[in-house]
Structure 1
Amino acid sequence: MQDLTRRKVLALGALGVAMPWVSKASAQERKITVAAYSDIFEDIYKRTVIEPFMKANPGIRVDYMGMPTSAQNLGMLRAQKAAPQIDVCIMDVVVAKAGGDENIYKPVTAEQLPVMKELVPAALIQGVPGPAVTFDALVLMYAPGKFATPPTSWKELWDKKHAGRIAIDAPPNLVGGWTDADCQQTGRRW
């Protein structure tokens, strides 16, 4: 990575929490394999991060391997420990720490990725081998056509009048819920 400019290193840093080394696929092209969440995250991340990165860096190809959960990503990394095939992995902080405790991957340091010095302090979590890529928040969403009045608290969702109408994805899923548009687009149901 020594020949990469600061901008390219910044873009690589945006790709994940594990050590971002670049393997040579050929004399002209380098390849990075990124493992992260599948489904909606994958679609958005490819469109907003990976595709612009590859356009700005035509000599670097990024292959994306989507997995539904961080636990599945960690299982894949464990299986590949003797012969790693993943260069960068984006996962939940608790799972990333578990893999770090097992020495599954190499930590990223500010010496290797100087842009880490510019990150907000919350992005560097003690015991986690790389910087945070995203910060997630669980929010309450509702379908206006399905509620006479908007819910004002989580507690209201447990009211028996809403029985069979509430959906909450459990951790480690990053998608807290679905909008009507998401359901129509993906074919999923409330």
Structure 2
Amino acid sequence: MRPALRLLLAAALVLLAPAARAADPSGEIVLLAYPGAFQDNYTKAVIEPFTAKYPGVKVIYAAGGNSAQMLGQLRAQKASPQVDVAIMDFSLSRVGNAEGLFAPLDRKEIPNLADVFDEARMGSAAAGEWGPGITFDHLVLLYGEGVKPAPLGIKDLMNPANKGSIVFSPAPNVIGTSVQILTAKYLGSDYKAPIDPVIDALKKIAANVQTWQATPDNYTMIINGAAGIGVGWNARAQFYADKSGGKVKSTVMTEGSVLDMDTINLVAGARNPAAAKAFIDFALGAEPQVKLAHMMYYGPTNRKAVLPPELLERTSSAPATLARMVPVDWGYVASVLDQWSGRWRREVIPAQ
């Protein structure tokens, strides 16, 4: 190559390099998501690889409690958002979408949206689609290794012999909402039917509840022997079973289970939307989802994420597990959730 041409190419590369770097996202984003084990593992599986790819972005993890608490925080900040991206349960992110707390996503800006399973999509909006699921999970019955006989379903939650030993979160938390749906099935009724008989049954469960707000969580209370039975999620149950050497066990209830997912959402009015969109796209990618599945047993929502068979069987994506999911019209649930939650506050929780 002639010296003059070599110098010309070198000069072009020098000019292009800053332009390429300038195109990368930069600045600071605040991620609102779950505390505890989720925060620890999500940081390792997603945030650290993201910041390694985009060193110009700083991700501040804001531990927000459960989804209902995070929704309340976002409502309080609506006029002046302090959060860029929020991860929460899809039953409550629907509420956030309807209230204008979240902004729709454009596939041109979030390429990995194209690879998300249809089951993880949250519907379209005028400017794109709502924040999709990033994890699949399902409801399970939790119990300690010393609980004999092992509980199987709603009947055991109602059993007076278990008084003072049960822990789980009430509605509007999706755990309590799902327990209500499965209680309706136990009674042989449709969860869309008048709920008076279901409320009566939930009062019997409430009489056995030790606490509705397990500290630090349902799984740890069972591991420590502070509670005997709980209701929670498969991914965390599998994670804590490994961590505790099998002190907490889990099973799909006799009545079946409810499929759940956490969604990732762009906050409307986010202070750094460019970096927020880059983070959302990265989180939806196959590689970080596979890594999170290995660490916490969440089922990936990216169809290109492939898990080894032994890992797949412990996630919500296992075919045998999916076959036991109870179909739920979450649009309907969202429309009556305030009504259901009011009945829990006035009648179910006080029956403890």
**TM-score by shorter chain over 0.5:** yes
Q: Name the stretch that deviates more: 63-72 or 50-59.
A: 50-59
1:123, 1:131 within 8 Å by CA — same for their partners in 2?
Answer: yes
Specify the code of the residue in structure 2 equivalent to 1:189: A
The equivalent residue for 2:308 is none
CA distance in 1, matches of 2:100, 2:56: 30
CA distance in 2, matches of 1:150, 1:72: 32
Q: SS of the counterpart of 1:134?
A: strand
Shift of 1:163: 1.7
The equivalent residue for 1:144 is 145
1:167, 1:177 within 8 Å by CA — same for their partners in 2?
Answer: yes
CA distance in 2, matches of 1:103, 1:115: 23
The equivalent residue for 1:60 is 57
Specify the code of the residue in structure 1 equivalent to 2:30: T
CA distance in 2, matches of 1:83, 1:179: 36
Shift of 1:115: 0.8
1:74, 1:95 within 8 Å by CA — same for their partners in 2?
Answer: yes
1:36, 1:65 within 8 Å by CA — same for their partners in 2?
Answer: yes
CA distance in 2, matches of 1:73, 1:36: 8
User: Given the alignment, which residue of 82, 86, 90 partners 1:85?
Assistant: 82
CA distance in 1, matches of 2:134, 2:49: 17
Specify the code of the residue in structure 1 equivalent to 2:113: M
Shift of 1:81: 2.8
Q: SS of the counterpart of 1:49?
A: helix
Shift of 1:53: 2.2
Higher relative contact order (CA 8 A, sep 6+): 2
Q: SS of the counterpart of 1:76?
A: helix
What is the aligned-residue identity percentage? 34
Pair 1:90–1:156, CA change in 2 (3 A) = same
CA distance in 2, matches of 1:152, 1:84: 44
CA distance in 2, matches of 1:139, 1:161: 20
User: Given the alignment, which residue of 218, 228, 248 partners 1:177?
Assistant: 218
Listed as ranges, the matches of 1:27-176 within 5 Å are 30-126=27-123, 129-145=130-146, 147-171=147-171, 172=173
Unaligned runs of 5+ in 2: 1-21, 176-213, 228-352
Runs of 4+ aligned structure 1 residues displaced above 6 Å come to 173-176
Q: Name the stretch that deviates more: 132-141 or 44-53.
A: 44-53
Aligned residue pairs total 162
Specify the code of the residue in structure 2 equivalent to 1:158: M
Specify the code of the residue in structure 2 equivalent to 1:61: K
Pair 1:46–1:165, CA change in 2 (3 A) = same
1:69, 1:173 within 8 Å by CA — same for their partners in 2?
Answer: no
Q: Name the stretch that deviates more: 116-125 or 96-105.
A: 96-105
1:74, 1:99 within 8 Å by CA — same for their partners in 2?
Answer: yes
Specify the code of the residue in structure 2 equivalent to 1:62: V
The equivalent residue for 1:27 is none
Is 1:3 aligned to residue 27 of structure 2? no
Pair 1:94–1:141, CA change in 2 (3 A) = closer
TM-score normalized by the length of structure 2: 0.40
Specify the code of the residue in structure 2 equivalent to 1:178: Y
CA distance in 1, matches of 2:166, 2:75: 36
1:96, 1:129 within 8 Å by CA — same for their partners in 2?
Answer: no
CA distance in 1, matches of 2:168, 2:73: 27
Shift of 1:183: 4.6
TM-score normalized by the length of structure 1: 0.70
CA distance in 2, matches of 1:141, 1:183: 10
CA distance in 2, matches of 1:140, 1:123: 24
Unaligned runs of 5+ in 1: 5-21, 25-29
1:108, 1:130 within 8 Å by CA — same for their partners in 2?
Answer: yes
Specify the code of the residue in structure 1 equivalent to 2:47: I
Higher-helix-fraction structure: 2
Pair 1:99–1:155, CA change in 2 (3 A) = same
